Structure formats: structure tokens, C-alpha cells
Amino acid sequence: MKKPLIVVVVALAVSFAVWAGVTYPRIGGDVLHLASSIETRIYGLHRAEVEISDSLMMSWQGGPQDAKETVVMIHGYSSEKTVWMRFASHFTENYRVLILDLPGHGETIFDPALKYDTVSQAQRVVEAMDVLGIQRAHIVGNSMGGFIAGQLALLYADRVQSAVLIDAAGVVAPQKSDMAKMLAAGRNPFEIHSREEFIDFYAMTMAQPPWLPRMILDYMAEDYMVRRESLTRIFEDFHNTDFLDQRLTEIHVPILVLWGERDRLLHISSATVWQNGIANAELITYPALGHMPMLEAPRQSAEDVLAFLAKHR
């Protein structure tokens, strides 16, 4: 979050919490949600429900409704739509923007009866596009969202104008990341049992994280602990989906691969797998960034994506 805005919101929220007797770290969640709500309005985004066949998906939407082109942004595993808001602010002048909370993430509830593999999630994205009357879109996905973007490019090519894969899961990395080594040793860093575990995990997610006050980090730690069981189930479904290595040559939509070279969750060596496997795929890497370039450097990554989209209108 931007420090000046967060500082003001923290002061207001703490004053209210003292008066109302709100418990800590719930205050951190209230601060985060309030600050996000203010920022999204500043950036021209509004909250909206999208009802599909098996879920009521929450979203942020913005930009001209009659824009000729749409950009759909898909977050990663355990994440939510908030990670896109500053990045998205660079698109709302000229593009219609749709940012979804996938089932089991953010404000879209977890339903144990659903499947959470990337093919099922890709189908839900298409359903959401249908509900909103979006025939084709540029798809931008990070991590698991990048895997879903790859599935869309493969299985729904007629609905995908282009796809941007940001530190995308979905292929076998030639070199093991820190997370891959932990998983091989039987420890999933996303399964959080304490604040200390969360702080170690949070350090893995970004090389240059935006500033956040301690109360928000404590809230996020508690949220991961509360959601541990559902996140474990989602991870199993998503991680057991067949990877796309053997099908990359079947992808023919324009592809841009973005990667933070300091990514500790998905090794930078994955980027060349995507680039070499998909004809004419473009690759941009960021030496100083980690797993979430759109959050660590929203302006720089947005400018690179906008330049790519301009070539594929």
C-alpha cells in the first residue's frame, strides 16, 4: 500500500477501534479493506458480483464499458484481486478491466464440493466473461493465475486476444526454486501455523514488497491460518493438474512472459520453458524483482504489458 494513505487510514482505524473495542489483529483487516476500497475508487475500479453456474464471484471492474478491448486479470494461489489494483490503474483509461476473486480466494467463498484445478478455474473465467458479455479479452495471470491464462490460451483460444504470463506456474522448471526444495522435503510454505512462519513465507513472495504496517501483516498471518485447511485442498487440486510442457506448441495466441529473476517460489528457469515452447512468445525479466512484479513494480510492469497489448489489437 502507499505509505501516506495507509498511515492516515491506520490512524483513523485505530482511533475507531479504541472507541468500539475491536480486537487486534482484526483491526489490520479493517485497515487493509478500507485502504483498498479507497485506492480502487481512486483508480476507477468498483466492486461487483458476477454470478456463474457454481459460484458467486466477487470482482473489481473498471474502464469504459464500451471499450473495444478488455483486460482480465487473474491472481495466484492463496492471493486475491487486491494484488492487481495499482497495476490495473494504468489500464482503466483505454481498456475495460475485469479483476476476479477466484472461488476459494478473497471475497469468493470456498466450497468443498467444487474442483479447484486450473481447467475448472479457466472454465469459470470464461463463464464470467459470458455473463458480462465479453467475447474476447487479453488475459493477464500471475503464478497459478498464469497457469490458468495458459489453459485459456490452449483450450479457449477464440476467447483470448493475447495472454500475459507473470511468473506463471504450469511447467516443470529446469532448476528448483526455494519452494520446490521445501515441497520436496515435505513442507508446504503456504501452510501457515504461526506469525513467524507467515513472515518467512511473505519474504519468499516478493523481493521488493510494498510497505505494510505490522497490524496488517498480523491480520494476513491470521487469515492464512484460518484458511489453512481450504488452501491445502485448493493446492492439491491445482498442483495435481497436468502441466502444459507437452502442449505448449499447441498455443498460438500472442504470449508475453514476464518474470522476476529473484522469484523464490517459481524459478526463473521456468520462463525459458514457456518462451521456447510457444512460437513467437516474448520474454521480459526483471533482475531486482521477485514473484509478483505487478505488485512490486506496478508502473514498470504495466508499461511493458501495455506496449505488448498495443501490438496485438
Q: How far apart are the first and last CA of the chain?
A: 32
Quick one: 54 and 201 in the same domain? yes
Quick one: 88 and 15 in the same domain? no
Which of the listed residues 27, 42, 57 is the one where a domain comes to its end?
42
Quick one: 279 and 161 in the same domain? yes
Instruction: Label residue 27 by pLDDT band (50, 70, 90).
Output: confident
User: What pLDDT, on a 0 to 100 scale, did the predictor assign at position 238?
Assistant: 92
Quick one: 77 and 101 in the same domain? yes
Quick one: 154 and 132 in the same domain? yes
Q: Evaluate the CA torsion angle 63, 142, 284, 246 in order and state its sign.
A: negative
pLDDT (tens digit per residue) in 246-279: 999 999 999 999 999 999 999 999 999 999 999 9
Lowest mean per-residue pLDDT among 16-25, 48-57, 66-75, 100-109: 16-25
Quick one: 220 and 289 in the same domain? yes
Which pTM was predicted?
Answer: 0.92
Domain that holds residue 196: 47-310
Quick one: 97 and 164 in the same domain? yes
Quick one: 23 and 65 in the same domain? no
Does residue 3 surpass a pLDDT of 70?
no
Does residue 300 surpass a pLDDT of 80?
yes
Quick one: 172 and 293 in the same domain? yes
pLDDT (tens digit per residue) in 116-170: 999 999 999 999 999 999 999 999 999 999 999 999 999 999 999 999 999 999 9
Quick one: 238 and 304 in the same domain? yes
Backbone φ and ψ for 245, nearest 5 degrees, come out as -50, -45
User: What pLDDT, on a 0 to 100 scale, did the predictor assign at position 24?
Assistant: 53
Quick one: 135 and 214 in the same domain? yes
User: What pLDDT, on a 0 to 100 scale, did the predictor assign at position 143?
Assistant: 98
At 250, which helix (H) or strand (E)? none
Quick one: 35 and 52 in the same domain? no
Total structural domains within the chain? 2
> Burial code of 13-35, b = ≥16 C-beta within 10 A, e = fewer?
bbeebeeeeeeebebbbbbbebb
CATH code for position 195: 3.40.50.1820
